[in-house]
Amino acid sequence: MKLGHVHIKISDLKRAEEFYTKLLGFKVTERVGDHYVFLTLGKAHHDLALQNVGEGAPKPEPHAIGLYHVAYEAESESQLKSIYEKLKQQKIKTYPVDHGISKALYFSDPDGNGIEVYLDTRDRRKLWRGIDEPSGLVF
């Protein structure tokens, strides 16, 4: 078995599409009116489906039962750094963490859905240059 795709309910389709395409590099493969947008990272028709449920829908709650976050693996240190810089430019609160086996960035999309972008470091075994934030990373 393998993960097919992630389906996220959001409140503003245009805003969410812009977030996932401009900050994380997804490409749109299909739109269904103002209801759905399907996005890919390159190989499948879609890796991510965004469903517009409207502005009045309740936001995810931090300590409620449900999905904590979706994790996407960066292909390189430079890709992870680029995403980090884009998040900083957009003033998106980001929590960088060195897990030892991976370097990760934790943040939320505009609707509060949790996201992790990480770099697997198990085979890299090189030390990063330092830490500039609590539990964080420096590129």
pLDDT digits (tens, 9 = 90+) for 32-60: 999 999 999 999 999 999 999 999 998 87
Residue 124: band (very low, low, confident or very high) from pLDDT cuts 50, 70, 90 = low
Residue range 1-11: mean pLDDT, rounded: 94
Using the predicted structure, report yes or no on whether residue 131 has a pLDDT greater than 70. no
Instruction: Report the pLDDT value the prediction gives residue 134, as an integer from 0 to 100.
Output: 45
The helices-and-strands tally (H runs, E runs) of the chain is: 2, 8
Residue 133: band (very low, low, confident or very high) from pLDDT cuts 50, 70, 90 = very low
Assigned superfamily of 68-139: 2,3-Dihydroxybiphenyl 1,2-Dioxygenase, domain 1 (3.10.180.10)
Tell me which residue of 83, 87, 60 sits closest to 73, measured CA to CA: 83
Domain residue spans of the chain: 1-55, 68-139
Percent of the chain with pLDDT over 70: 88
Whether residue 136 contacts residue 97, with contact meaning beta carbons closer than 8 Å, is answered with: yes
Q: Does 1-55 match 68-139 in CATH topology?
A: yes
Q: Residues 50, 54, 55, 59: is their CA dihedral positive or negative? A: negative
Q: What is the CATH number of domain 1-55?
A: 3.10.180.10
Whether residue 23 contacts residue 87, with contact meaning beta carbons closer than 8 Å, is answered with: yes
Residue 114, amino acid: G
138 or 91, greater pLDDT: 91
Using the predicted structure, report yes or no on whether residue 139 has a pLDDT greater than 80. no
